[in-house]
Amino acid sequence: MKVLITDNVNKDCGEILSQNGYEVTEKAKLSKDELKSVIKDYEILIVRSATKVTSDVIEVADNLKLIGRAGAGVDNIDIEAATRKGIIVMNTPGGNTVSAAEHACGMLLATARNIPQASAQMHQAVWDKKKWMGAELEGKTLSVIGLGKIGREVAVRMQAFGMKTVGYDPMLPEEFAAKMNIELLTLSETLKQADFITIHSSLNESTKNLICKETIEIMKDGVYIVNCARGGIVNEFDLAEAIKSGKVAGAALDVFAQEPIVSDNPLIGIERVIMTPHIAASTEEAQVKVAIQIAEQIVEWKNNHRLNGAVNASAIELAQAPEVKPFLSLSEKLGVMIAQLATKKPKHLNVWVSGDFLRKFSEVITAAVLKGFLDVVQEGDINYINAAAMANDMGLDVEQRYEKENFDYTNLIRVELETEACKRMIGGAVLGAKELRVVMIDKFLCEFKPEGQILIYNNQDKPGVLARVGMALLKRGLNIASVALSRDEEKKEALTVISLDDTVDTEVLEDIEKVDGVFSPRLIKV
């Protein structure tokens, strides 16, 4: 098979492929027009981030069977266009984990001992030992915010320095963390106990400005903060003020709210701040690893038909069965919703399918549920191929289950999630050809569209509750799109689902919680 490598991928990639009988050509820095003129001659294209594999490139790639990205991100590849053309897209997830973890550890050491600042003075022939008094790591508490692969690698490495490691990750089971000598705490307790804080979570609505004036206030005086995860998790203005006041002893950041960094960034010029230009994964070793990894994945695909690291393989396989696509969309939405309904760490997830039709697709339906679930609770690029492995990494036990038929629905998908505190269930069906509906939550039967902003709460089955909730929403200027009601007459308990037209902030929950007769309100975004 003919392979084209268009970016500066490490030479090991081409050597492995050549040794396995591939005809390899390397043409770096091709323009789009140049790539379009030659791509028709190749069956495999390997890129890093420089080459943009756009839809018009893919359109003329008549012989292309696989695009390999030597790295984790695939933003430079039009996956939808590749899928439509039946081209597999592979990446190399995890190849830069060690490099990113080591950079974070280096930043911890550097900020504790003021190494860059002292070095800069020495280059100016200034000898000032007293100014750069540092702090030992041994015996100190390191709080790890986000315990994905990188966060766990950092924790294990810093334990070797004699640090006590505690962490916050709302979706990691305690017993899984305990195996790595990490004590799981609430976010508040994690911040209160920390001498050093290192951040390794994804950026989303719940983590944006996670480190801000309010959370810094509950930290110890003299805390150190490191962020090598995502810009925007740390409020840079609040951090700058905290360092100037002495509340924060020092900080080290590899990522920023705006990149490249701008000249008016509030952290520029503050001595106790170390900054690097998003280079945590930029090591020779990481580039060698991803080059070898993508080559080995391609060989495994050709020789054994295994799609390790494939981003879109399930979509390609299901292209011949368009009738299942609405069920996959429904499954992802059910995963998104059950993740937001859960309030504690997940332990076990069951995916039930009913009916002979869905039984044929139970594996990919489970993958779709996991993708939706993990998109909410886990950092990284989640797809149908890696969803099961990533669920396993976070200690989540997953089972696929089948029942021959359901009394009410011919083809029903139910997702059951067991956490440390409770069990939740949500079920859905496709009505007609493509109308997606949630049809049950826990013990309640209720029907509504899984889209937009949704308020879900349990309430006492008595007059006036819905009216009072409506008034609370009205005061916030929120318009109700639809309402679904269900009740348990024996226990006088009800479930109410309200779909809202507008973007809703979490303060609305505080209003709803105050309504007499309402309990367990949740805001769900689908």
Name the region of 294 (left: φ>0; alpha: ψ -120 to 50; beta: rest).
alpha
Q: Note every long-range contact of 424-428, with CB atoms under 8 Å and residues 24 or more positions apart, other chains counting.
A: 424/338, 424/341, 424/342, 425/338, 426/334, 426/337, 426/338, 426/341, 427/334, 427/352, 428/330, 428/331, 428/333, 428/334
How long, in residues, is the chain?
Answer: 526
Helix, strand or coil, per DSSP, at residue 363: helix
Q: For 463, how many CA atoms within 13 A lie in the half-sphere containing its CB?
A: 0
* Inter-CA distances, 399 with 9, 295, 324, 347, 391, Å: 39, 32, 20, 11, 11
Set 48, 69, 103, 230: catalytic member: 230
230: annotated active-site residue? yes
Give Rg (Cα) of the chain. 26
Extract the tokens encoding 177.
């963390």
Set 23, 175, 259, 405: catalytic member: 259
Q: What is the residue type of 345? A: K
- Phi then psi for 76, rounded to 5 degrees? -90, 5
Query: Does an H or E element contain 303, and which?
Result: helix 284-304
259: annotated active-site residue? yes
Q: Is the dihedral of CA 434, 435, 441, 443 positive or negative?
A: negative
Q: Are 158 and 165 in contact (CB under 8 A)?
A: yes
Tell the residue number behind the tokens 């028709």, with chain if given: 40
Set 278, 359, 468, 487: catalytic member: 278
Angle (CA) 288 291 292, round 5°: 85
Active-site positions read 230, 259, 278
